[in-house]
Amino acid sequence: MAGPSPNLDVRLTRSQSGNILDIDFIGGLAAEGAAAAQQAAAGAPVSALTARAKVAAAMKAKAAAPVAATAGRRLKIAEHRVHKVEVRQKDSGEDEEELVVSNLRPFTLKVAVHDSKGSPLPDCSLPLRAALLYENGLPVKQTSSSEPLLVGETDVVALQGAATFKLRITSLSSHRDKQRFRIQVTPQDEEVARAEPQLTVVTNPMKSVTKLGRASVAGNGSAPQLSQIAPSAEPNGAEPLKRKYRDLLEQQSAQIAALQNAQQTILRELQGVTALAQTALRANGLKQ
């Protein structure tokens, strides 16, 4: 007569995104081992218990399969479209191309998920997040609470293995000791980011300015490593139109600056009126 069926408790460990990270079997296997030893000593068959142990092992391997299937994934920059590419001279005297973006306009960054062999993963769905770094890789700290350093679509889900970010850097390189910036893209799930460090990617450095000025690009105006500049791809006949819109943008920027100065003046006057009113109220209270 076969012994009673052992109790098998299964404990799953999941990540924040719902992936199964680990599976433990509590009590069941140990109980089966003890029961098997007792039945073996009594001469009873242990084939049923062995079958249950095999099933439990198969369940654990199947649960861990999604984690193993994601091993080797890596994130690559598919497109980095900036506003301008300049040629600057390095300290060594060599020329290099410098990516430039305006803090008044968004730029586009597209990334794609690939497997360990470099092939795209079109069935991959991965929540990603963009953050602002200095060229040396250190995070950029917020110096004021008025506006975030990086605005736009900073949290994007990579559907069908690709994600497109539309971002705008609000800080200027001139306000940060002329340092250039990079965009870092990582998984939103910190556990996934730690387990798969190759899912983190950073862009080439970019200089952030307010006024782009005239384009001064080398060659055909293409930035290195899939970075592109949209204005340089336009025909020469569009230059007057670009100049017109550029002048219009500069006029609007001047108007905005004038409005901000007027608001500061009004704010100071309101503070003065408030101070006078408070003084009058205190004096009135003393008389009563």
pLDDT computed for residue 65 by the predictor: 42
Q: Please give the mean pLDDT across all residues of the chain.
A: 75
pLDDT computed for residue 166 by the predictor: 97
pLDDT computed for residue 105 by the predictor: 94
Higher-pLDDT residue of 143 and 167 is 167
pTM, rounded to two decimals: 0.53
Q: pLDDT tens digit string along 38-57?
A: 554 455 454 544 555 665 56
Least confident piece of the model among 88-92, 192-196, 273-277: 88-92
Burial of 13 (0-12, 13-18, 19+ CB in 10 A): exposed
Q: pLDDT tens digit string along 213-270?
A: 765 444 344 444 444 443 334 444 555 655 556 666 666 665 666 666 677 778 788 8
Q: Going by CATH, does the domain composed of 74-233 fall within 1.10.3470?
A: no
Least confident piece of the model among 17-26, 182-191, 205-214, 263-272: 17-26
pLDDT computed for residue 157 by the predictor: 95
